Amino acid sequence: MRRLPWALLALPALALARLLPEHGLGLGLRLAAATVVLLVPGALVARALGQPGGAATLAWSLGALFLALGLVFALHTALWPALVVLGAVSVGVLPAALRRRRERPPRGFALVLVGGIALGVAVWYVAGALEGDALFHLARVRKLDAFGDLSLASVNEFRDGGLHSGYAFPLWHGLLALVAKLAGVDAASVLLHEASILVPLACLLAYEAGVRVFGSVAGGVSVLVSQVAITCLAAGHGGAYVSLALPATAARQLLATAALALVFAYVAEREWPALAAVVPATLALTLVHPTYVLFLGVPLAGYLAVTAAFRREDLRRAALVLGAYAVTAVASLVPLRSLARETASFTPSAAERLRGLEHYASQLDVFSTDRYRVAPEVFGRTGAVAVAALVLLPLAACSARRRAGALVLGGSLAVFALTLPSVVFPEVADLVSLSQARRLAGFLPFAFAFAAGMAVLAHVLRLWALPAALGVGIGLQLAYPGDFGAGLRDGGPALATWLGAFGAVAALVASAAAACRFRLDVRAGTLGALAACLFVLPVAAHGFSEWSAEKGGGRYDLTPGLVAALRERVPAGAVVFADLETSYRIAAFAPLYVAAAPPEHVADTTKNRPYDRRDDVRRFLRTGDLAVPRRYGAGWLVVRRDSRISPPAPRVYADGRFVLHRLGPAS
C-alpha cells in the first residue's frame, strides 16, 4: 500500500499553529510548522525519486528555494511570489510522489527524531540574547521580510554599499525570512529560536551520514553521539546548536553533513538520484557559506585519493560523484570571485596580513609574516571527544580498505597537509582569508575518526572496550574539557594532534604494505557504538550541568520605545545615522539602512569602506556637524544621551537613553 506523504499534513498543521500565541509553545509550533512547510517541496521530490532520509529532502528543498528567490530578485517583487514557486514545485511533483512507494529511511530514524526533538526543546531554554554576528544576519532577514522591491542589493547594511561576497545570494536568509512570514512572527524570534527547530534535522543528518559512511546503524549512532558531544554538549549552554539558525553554523552542521551523506549514498548504492541530489546540496552550501564548500572538498579529495589506492571497486563512483560536487562548486564560486577580489582580505597587503596575524595570534604558530600555521592545540579545542578522535585516528585509519577508513585517513591527512606545514597554510590563507582559513581545522572528520576508532577498539578488546571507554572518557573530560572562548587559551594537547598526524602517515604506509587490515563484524560495530555512548556520558554530564543561557552584555541594547519609533515613524528603507553600535542594532531591529557599523561586522570592500565610515561617525560625534550624516543620504539621526551633542534638528522621539531626530535638507 502506498502511504500518503507526511508532507501533505504540513499546511493544515501551520494553519492550526497560527491560531496559537506568538510566544512560548505557540511560537515553537509556529516555527516548526513553517519550517516543515518549506521542506515540503524537497520531501516530495525526494519521495518521487525514491530517496529516503533528510539529506535529499534538505538538498531538493534548498534547490527549489534557490529558483524561487531567483525569480523574486529578477522581478523585484516582495517575498510572497517565492511561496507560489515552492507551491508550484510541490503540486507539480505530487503525482510522481504518490505513484512511488515510500522508501524506508535507515533503521532508527524515528528514535533519532524523537531524541533530536527532545534536545531541541532543551536548546530552546538556553537561547540567549541576539548579539554579535546574529544581528548582522537579522538585519538581512528583516529586509527580505519587509521590503517590497527586492534585489540582491536590498539586504545590504548600507544603501550605497556593495554585496557581501559570502552572502551575495541570500539563500539561507531567504529561508529564515519565509519562516517568519509563514509563522507570522517577528524576524528576531526566528533568529533566536529557529535553532531549536533545526536541532532534530541536525541529528537526523549526522545519523544518516554515519549510516551511509559506515554502512551500519551502529556507525550512525557513533557518529551521532560524537557529533552532538563535540558541537552541543562539550561547551555547555547548548554549544554551537544555539546558533544553528545562523548561516555559518547551518552550513557546517546541516548542509555540509547533508552533502557528505549524499556523496556516500551514491558511492554505496550506485543510484543516480543520490548523484543528482549532490548538485543542489553543493549549490546550497556554496551560496550559504562559500568557503565551506572548499573546506568540505578537502577531506573528500583525500578520501578519493585513498580510495584510488586501496579501494578500486569504489573509485569510478567516487570520482563521478566528487566530480559533480567539484563542477557545481566551481560553477557557483566563479560569479562570487569578482566580489571576493574587492575585499581587503582576499589580496591582503602587508599591513592587512599583519593585522590578521595579530588578531588570530592565539590560534596560530607564527614564525614570520610569511610562515605560520594553525596551532596544533586548535584541533583538540572542542574537548574530550576531539582529543580521543585524534589519538584514535591511526587505529581508525588502519581500515583504509573500508569506506569509513578511507574517509578518516584521506580526509585527515588532507586537512593536516594544508594546516600544519607553515609554508602551505599561508597560501591557503591568501586564497580564502586568514579569518576563514583557520576554520579548515574544524573539517577534519572528527566524528568519523572517533566512531571508527571505537569500532576498532571494540574489535580488539571486545567487552572490555565498554569500561575502558567510560574510564577514559571521564579522564579526558577532566583533563581536557574544551576551550570555547573567542580566542585560544589552552586548547587541546598538541601531542594528540601530532600523534594523529604522524600516526595517520604510519597507517597509510601500513595499509600500503597490507599490514593493517581489520575485518569489523556487526558485533564489533555494535560494541563500538555502545563504547562511544559510554565515552560521551561524562561529556553529556558536564554539558547539562552548565545548561543555561549565556548572559549578554546589554550595554548597547536599543530601548523598546526607540525600536517602536523607528518602525512606526521612519519609512522602511530610509537611512539612519547613529554611532557604530547603535547603527548595528538599528539595522537589525528595523527595516532600515545605516551609514556605518562596527568594521568587524562589515565586509571590507571598496564600496563599503568600513574604516572610513567609522572615522566619519567619530568626526560627527566630536563636532556635531550635520554635513556628515547628510553626505550619506541620512534623513534620520539617533543620538545617545551620553554623547554630549545636541543637533539642531527636530526631535521625533526621546527617552532616557536615545533621541531620534528628523534631518531636513541643508540650509
**Do residues 567 and 532 share a domain?**
no
For residue 316, the model assigns a pLDDT of: 94
pLDDT confidence band for 183 (50 / 70 / 90): very high
Q: Which residues contact 519 (CB under 8 A, 6 or more apart)?
A: none
SS3 116: helix
- Confidence check: pLDDT of 419 > 70: yes
For residue 93, the model assigns a pLDDT of: 95
pLDDT confidence band for 163 (50 / 70 / 90): confident
The answer to whether 320 and 327 have CB atoms below 8 angstroms apart is no
Write out the H or E segment, with its range, that includes residue 662: strand 658-662
Phi and psi torsions of 642, nearest 5°: -85, 10
**Do residues 57 and 134 share a domain?**
yes
End-to-end CA distance of the chain: 78
Helix, strand, coil percentages for the chain (3-state, nearest 5): 70, 5, 30
Q: How far apart are CA 459 and CA 456, in angstroms?
A: 5
**Do residues 183 and 295 share a domain?**
yes
Residue 628 lies in a domain: yes
pLDDT confidence band for 518 (50 / 70 / 90): low
Compute CA distances 525 → 217, 404, 455, 467, whole Å.
Answer: 9, 12, 5, 16
- Give, in degrees to the nearest 5, the angle at Cα 163 between 158 and 77: 80
Give 564-572's long-range contacts (Cβ < 8 A, gap of 24+): 565/652, 565/653, 565/660, 566/590, 566/592, 566/638, 566/660, 567/591, 569/652, 569/653, 569/660, 570/636, 570/660, 572/146, 572/147
For residue 288, the model assigns a pLDDT of: 97
**Percentage of residues in the chain with pLDDT exceeding 70?**
95
For residue 519, the model assigns a pLDDT of: 53
Tell me which residue of 206, 208, 199, 205 sits closest to 239, measured CA to CA: 199
Query: Could you tell me which residues are beta bridge partners of residue 660?
Result: 638, 653
The answer to whether 404 and 452 have CB atoms below 8 angstroms apart is yes
The answer to whether 343 and 165 have CB atoms below 8 angstroms apart is yes
Mean pLDDT, range 416-426, rounded to an integer: 97
Which among 510, 545, 580 is the end of a domain?
545
Q: Which amino acid is it at 538? A: P
Which among 494, 521, 545 is the end of a domain?
545
- Confidence check: pLDDT of 524 > 60: no
Q: How far apart are CA 258 and CA 55, in angstroms?
A: 5
- Confidence check: pLDDT of 548 > 80: yes
- Confidence check: pLDDT of 517 > 80: no
Residue 237 lies in a domain: yes
Q: For the segment 617-645, what is each residue's pLDDT rounded down to a tens digit?
A: 999 999 999 999 999 999 999 999 988 88
Query: What sign does the dihedral 372-375-376-379 (CA atoms) show?
Result: negative
Which among 522, 545, 568 is the end of a domain?
545
For residue 264, the model assigns a pLDDT of: 96
**Do residues 521 and 578 share a domain?**
no
Tell me which residue of 185, 189, 195 sits closest to 246, measured CA to CA: 195
For residue 532, the model assigns a pLDDT of: 97
- Confidence check: pLDDT of 508 > 90: no
E-assigned strand segments in 527-589:
575-577
- Confidence check: pLDDT of 498 > 80: yes
For residue 105, the model assigns a pLDDT of: 80
**Do residues 284 and 318 share a domain?**
yes
Residue 553 lies in a domain: no
Residue 314 lies in a domain: yes
pLDDT confidence band for 513 (50 / 70 / 90): confident
For residue 485, the model assigns a pLDDT of: 82
For residue 355, the model assigns a pLDDT of: 85
Q: How many structural domains compose the chain? A: 2
Mean pLDDT, range 118-123, rounded to an integer: 97
C-alpha cell at position 124: 530552546
Q: How far apart are CA 499 and CA 496, in angstroms?
A: 5
**Do residues 541 and 600 share a domain?**
no
Q: For the segment 266-304, what is each residue's pLDDT rounded down to a tens digit?
A: 999 888 999 999 999 999 999 999 999 999 999 999 999
Q: For the segment 356-408, what is each residue's pLDDT rounded down to a tens digit?
A: 899 899 999 999 989 999 999 999 999 999 999 999 998 877 777 789 999 99
SS3 310: helix
**To the nearest 10°, the Cα dihedral for 419, 495, 300, 448?**
-150
**Do residues 524 and 584 share a domain?**
no
Mean pLDDT, range 463-484, rounded to an integer: 94
**To the nearest 10°, the Cα dihedral for 35, 38, 44, 46?**
-80
For residue 516, the model assigns a pLDDT of: 57
For residue 343, the model assigns a pLDDT of: 64
| Helices assigned H by DSSP within 342-444 | 350-359, 384-397, 403-419, 425-432, 434-437
For residue 538, the model assigns a pLDDT of: 97
**Percentage of residues in the chain with pLDDT exceeding 90?**
76
Q: For the segment 244-270, what is each residue's pLDDT rounded down to a tens digit?
A: 999 999 999 999 999 999 999 999 988
Q: For the segment 4-38, what is each residue's pLDDT rounded down to a tens digit?
A: 667 778 899 999 999 999 999 999 999 999 999 99
Q: For the segment 37-72, what is each residue's pLDDT rounded down to a tens digit?
A: 999 999 999 999 999 889 999 999 999 999 999 999
Q: Which amino acid is it at 625? A: D
Q: Which residues contact 622 (CB under 8 A, 6 or more apart)?
A: none
Strand pairing of 593-594 and 575-577?
A: parallel
**Do residues 511 and 618 share a domain?**
no
Give 611-616's long-range contacts (Cβ < 8 A, gap of 24+): 613/158, 614/580
For residue 523, the model assigns a pLDDT of: 45
Q: Which residues contact 27 (CB under 8 A, 6 or more apart)?
A: 21, 183, 185, 189, 193
Q: Enter the pTM of the model.
A: 0.94
Residue 550 lies in a domain: no
Tell me which residue of 472, 444, 451 sits closest to 399, measured CA to CA: 451
pLDDT confidence band for 525 (50 / 70 / 90): confident
For residue 1, the model assigns a pLDDT of: 38
**Do residues 142 and 170 share a domain?**
yes
- DSSP one-letter string for 575-593: EEE--HHHHHHHHHHSS-E
Structural domain span for residue 649: 560-662
**Do residues 510 and 582 share a domain?**
no
- How does the average pLDDT of the chain come out, rounded? 92
**Do residues 429 and 518 share a domain?**
yes
- Confidence check: pLDDT of 324 > 60: yes
Residue 539 lies in a domain: yes
HEC assignment per residue over 141-160: HHHHHHCCCCCHHHHCCCCC
For residue 345, the model assigns a pLDDT of: 55
For residue 344, the model assigns a pLDDT of: 58
For residue 522, the model assigns a pLDDT of: 42
Residue 286 lies in a domain: yes
- CB-facing half-sphere around the CA of 422: CA atoms within 13 A: 11
Mean pLDDT, range 174-192, rounded to an integer: 97
For residue 631, the model assigns a pLDDT of: 94
**Do residues 503 and 597 share a domain?**
no
Residue 413 lies in a domain: yes
pLDDT confidence band for 554 (50 / 70 / 90): confident
**Cα-trace Rg, the chain:** 25
